[in-house]
Amino acid sequence: MREKALIGFNDEEAMKDGQHLDISSLYASDLFPARTGEKPTELFLEQIFEILFSYIKRTYDGNSKVLDFHHPHQLLDGLEGFSLELSDQPEPLEQILVDCRDTLRYSVKTAHPRFFNQLSSGLDMVGLAGEWLTATANTNMFTYEIAPVFIMMEDILLKKMHEMVGWTENEGDGIFSPGGTISNLYSILVARYKYFPIVKTKGMAALPRIVLFTSAHSHYSFKKASAVLGIGTENVIAINCDERGKMMPSDLEAKILKAKDEGSIPFYVSATAGTTVYGAFDPFENIADICQKYGLWMHVDAAWGGGLLLSKKHRFKLNGIKRANSVTWNPHKMMGVPLQCSAILVREKGLLQACNEMCADYLFQPDKHYNTAYDTGDKTIQCGRHVDVFKLWLMWKAKGANGFELQINKCLELASYIYKVLKTRENFELVLPNEPEHTNVCFWYIPPSLRRVPRGKEWNAKLHKVASTIKAHMMEEGTVMIGFQPLGEKPNFFRVVFSNPATKKSDVDFLLEEIERLGNNL
């Protein structure tokens, strides 16, 4: 086995000859001390790999914690040789390696099978390799000139996603963006340009009062985008949902008519495929009928639920999505691609380009003699754009559509499993009595002190504190992570979501046992 020259994993071992390798030698020299004959960059990266691989192994160890929690003041004060402070002088590489190890040590293991806190979790090894290669290439996605292979991969994947949405060969455009919030912003941006192209040059002052409509359970990004684009949050009209969290078409049509009567100009409707809390799928066919009737742009936010298009068993839940004018789809959620990986799909070709192009002549020269049609920079609101597509392309190569399907189906099976278990446990109560549509399952834990007490405002107030108190203990112990939230008049409840292929039924059982253990004395 090759001698390791930088640092051992006991954290105390330094270089055997007592020397410290200054960071400048790593950057400035190709030679390592003659006793090994090895290059410093190779040794440094080898040991970084060992730190990363050791972390990955610990993440999937059933006895490991999800996090080693510390309060902000503890991190700022420094922990066991790990300091966040920066100095003017370079530190030895031994310390840099320790800093890398400790950064992971005090971070949340989002790939842990017992991390249920967010919609994106897990760690795909092929996707990780893709991220490493992307960082090594360190290029930009604005022109074919600088990223020829990645540009072609993006084009191929976008066409694949268009096909799965149900658009024809002659339809479909899109771009990979920094996340679902930005993808949703793009949808409003291009819709506004489609109906009011003058806004690009004259601004919002040239427009009447325009309004858009979203589900009351939609993602907050629509309000944020409306604030950023100058439309205003007061012009985002929430549509009522039924008891399962689905948009009500009757209320949508009523509010469109009301807005028109008040002198506003409706132009855009966003439906949701997999709401953040309940995981609900809106009735897309009905919504599309209304948008067609009143000439409105229809967007589907499928950031969370888009992955179900890969499942023969579950894709019926997105029936009607092909009628949308635009779709947001985040492969970094149900498909398990490492963050970040989000696409905005637009049915009308050329609209993204027309909306966003500024024809910067130092980047986009039409007289280049090679493939300027593939330059993507003028489709975007960014200049520099990270290569998000390669890890998805590589994972698709490794899994195929069938592999993604198996992975997604397994996550939905876990949701069905916890739903059935919760129905049998007297100390838990489901927020929704129906079988879950997606992998979201929402529930309350009812501690012994509240089980046989009359229900009312006081009871709700006490129950409201249960989830947050259990979560505080859970964070300190670090054994499992799950989110909670209120919704309307409903007191705080837990929301478990499944997107990690490594999670097993035993991890689900552990979650419920931990909630009981931490909440039994409340």
The answer to whether 270 and 190 are in contact (CB under 8 A) is: no
CA distance 227 to 207: 16
Helices 389-424 and 148-165, packing angle to 10 deg: 40
Q: What is the pLDDT of residue 33?
A: 42
> Residue 307 has what DSSP assignment?
G
Q: What is the pLDDT of residue 325?
A: 98
The answer to whether 54 and 8 are in contact (CB under 8 A) is: no
Residue 238 phi, psi (nearest 5): -80, 135
DSSP alpha helices (H): ranges in 66-179? 72-77, 93-105, 125-137, 148-165
**Whole-model pTM?**
0.90
CA distance 182 to 175: 11
Order across the sheet with 481-487: list the strands.
115-116, 481-487, 490-496, 441-445, 428-430
Q: Where does residue 271 rank: exposed (0-12), middle (13-18), buried (19+ CB within 10 A)?
A: buried
Please give the domain boundaries of the chain with CATH numbers for all domains.
Answer: 1-65+82-108 (no CATH), 140-387 (3.40.640.10), 397-519 (3.90.1150.170)
Local structure of 482: helix, strand or coil: strand
Q: What is the pLDDT of residue 482?
A: 96
Task: Note the residue count of the chain.
Answer: 522
Q: What is the pLDDT of residue 44?
A: 87
DSSP per-residue letters across 168-223: -TT--EEEEESSHHHHHHHHHHHHHHHH-TTHHHH-GGGS--EEEEEETTS-THHH
pLDDT string in tens for the chain (522-residue length): 333 434 333 333 433 443 444 444 444 444 334 334 456 778 888 999 999 999 999 998 878 899 998 888 889 888 887 888 998 988 888 889 999 999 999 999 999 999 999 999 999 999 999 999 999 999 999 888 899 999 999 999 999 999 999 999 889 999 999 999 999 999 999 999 999 999 999 999 999 999 999 999 999 999 999 999 999 999 999 999 999 999 999 999 999 999 999 999 999 999 999 999 999 999 999 999 999 999 999 999 999 999 999 999 999 999 999 999 999 999 999 999 999 999 999 999 999 999 998 765 656 667 675 677 787 878 999 988 999 999 999 999 999 999 999 999 999 999 999 999 999 998 999 999 999 999 999 999 999 999 888 899 999 999 999 999 999 999 999 999 999 999 999 999 999 999 999 999 999 999 999 999 999 888
